[in-house]
A = this chain, B = another copy of it.
Amino acid sequence: MAFDRLIENIVRTQNPSVVGLDPKLEYVPQFIIDKQVAKHGKTLKAAAKALLQFNKAIIDEVHDICPAIKPQAAYYEMYGYEGVKTLYKTIRYAQENGMFVMTDGKRNDIGATMEAYATAHLGLTDICGEQVEAFGADALTVNGYLGTDGIAPLLEKCKQYDKGIFVLVKTSNKSSGELQDLKLESGKTIYSQMGDMCEGWGAECMGKYGYSGVGAVVGATYPEQLAEMRAQLPHTFFLVPGYGAQGGGAEGVAKAFDANGLGAIVNSSRGVMCAYKKEGCDEKDFAKAARREVIRMKEDIISYLPKVALPE
């Protein structure tokens, strides 16, 4: 199952963190933008090519010390279909460099349409008998508001192609509680109910390290809920956004992990992509600055973990 490969990558690199590639043009060094604008004008194509060059340089610098990337679909869609082409090429390039790729798309729909999303992002598209990869990520974030028949088509792909999903449970944003924290008649919160549904869906696709192919998104900004969910959902791997720029600290995110230092992966996007700005180094040094930040973040997180090892 997909998270087995992710877990093996994490143990190999001793790094339970993922680089979020959410490349707004304003994060990209000017010399890269200038080159593409000179060639293509102030167009979506120029922007998309600049993003790709930026992403590839970061992947070149971090692939040996970082298990995964998480491209956020929104930032590619913002640059139109040219941007979406850059998403595709980024996924390919990261995988060629041994990284696990989680497309952050938070997709959701009813059965037949969810099947199309599952095919798009995790499966193979049939073109008159030819099987073609449309995007081919290793995992996809999804929203479970529509219930089981919005999730079932994904489980099929997870089993067939060794992939995984992360379902939104408790998100990192300030207003996440407006709906997610409301209590049901049962006394459970909505996020806790969603968490239980993840455990249920995951039972169909268990991996060899105790975690299923159905993970959950639980924000670093809510350490108490992280701890609660870790205890309640023993087979659910967590994707933890909100570290760094959004205010989540390493001590809090440590609550997302199990006794082996597994069970979670922590995302940082802006912190890594814009490390060169924070450092104030030459913008040509942006990729090496990203590497330095990945190492700093990894050391910060693992300093709160007992170890990062496969279960004995």
Contact = CB atoms under 8 A, between A and B. Distances in A.
Nearest to A24: B116
Given A178-B197, A184-B182, A147 B128 contact: no
Interface in A1-50: 22, 24-25, 33, 37, 42-44, 46-47
B175 A149 contact: yes
Contacts of A78: 116-117, 119-120, 125, 134
Contacts of A47: 125, 127
B177 A147 contact: yes
Given A80-B125, A175-B149, A22 B185 contact: no
Nearest to A74: B116
A109 B44 CA distance: 23
Interface string A73-92: 01101111101110110000
Contacts of A79: 125, 134
A112 to B, nearest CB: 8
Given A134-B80, A179-B194, A149 B174 contact: yes
A81 B88 contact: yes
A193 B168 CA distance: 19
Given A43-B132, A44-B134, A190-B190, 14 more contacts: A25-B128, A42-B129, A74-B114, A81-B85, A106-B143, A108-B168, A145-B171, A146-B173, A147-B173, A179-B190, A179-B193, A182-B185, A183-B184, A184-B184
